[in-house]
Amino acid sequence: MPKLAEKPSPSKAIEIRPVAGALGAEISGVDLSEDLSDETIADIRQALLNNLVIFFRDQDITPDQHLAFAKRFGDTVEYPLIKGLEGYPEIMTVVKLENEKLNFGGLWHSDTTYLEKPPMGSILVARELPPRGGDTIFANMHLAYEMLSDGMKKLLEPLKGVSVSNLPKVTATRDERARVSGKAAPETILTATHPVVRTHPETGRKLLYVNGGHTLRFEGMSDEESAPLLEYLFEHQTRPEFTCRFVWKPGSIAFWDNRCTQHLPVNDYHGFKRVMHRITLAGDRPG
């Protein structure tokens, strides 16, 4: 009697475990070094939309595999101010050396909102970690908007924020990297204007779209006139109940939706080296 062909085993479903009440989930049951099925990629994308930032543990991926995984979610783009990894211009090395005091991007921010089309998201891979410290905190900008009063929402709805690439508090965090591997002239200033209240293009949820790293003022207002309200919003949008904290370990990966989150890399590991690789995904014009 001929042997019956074995039925292919069903693909293993990924496991999604929320890490905090506000946002964030760890995903297990998947090996990112593999060529994942379209179904698995769709599940990961939905997990990102549901949780805003997703984390993977115990992954061992090469730069080529990092790039291949990222491209399953959209087009990759180069960071506009710093050169990428040699041979991989789309992979940016985020590093703090033992002798440095400031860490790259070491303040609350959304990535590169000074671009006309800011990134959809970023995928960050841990390459070398300090023995302790160096966590990253993420904040949910949907909650930041939803917890505002109706009066504040009405005030903010018509406003637009002007983002720039040269706020002193953020340029100080990238001076060393720009000196070593900058690809734009030091005097280059990138600027873009976006709605203060943005609608997420995939979920339709509204969110607060200003950030302390890049938003300088409101369109049609001076810096001085804008400052009091912006400072209130910057403090409000990073309230502890809007956040989650990720403790990096060897093999950790974080993938965040840059459209509706902010993040803060904690600078508490002086005297130690921390090296990460980041790939950025192209976004659209905020609306």
Report, as residue numbers or ranges, the catalytic residues. Answer: 109, 111, 263, 278
How many degrees, rounded to 5, is the angle at CA 23 between CA 268 and CA 166? 55
The tokens describing 213, both together, are: 């790293």
Q: Please name every residue paired with 18 in a beta bridge, in sequence order, or none if there are none.
A: 25
Backbone angles phi, psi at 197, to 5 degrees: -110, 110
DSSP string, 179-203: HHHB-S-TT---EEEEESEEE-TTT
N-to-C CA span, the chain: 65
The tokens describing 142, both together, are: 């949907």
Is the separation of the CB atoms in 127 and 63 below 8 Å? no
Cα-based torsion angle of the residue sequence 75, 79, 80, 81 in order, rounded to the nearest 10 degrees? -170
DSSP 270: T
Is the separation of the CB atoms in 15 and 219 below 8 Å? no
Alpha carbon distance 261, 126 (integer Å): 20
Backbone angles phi, psi at 278, to 5 degrees: -120, 135
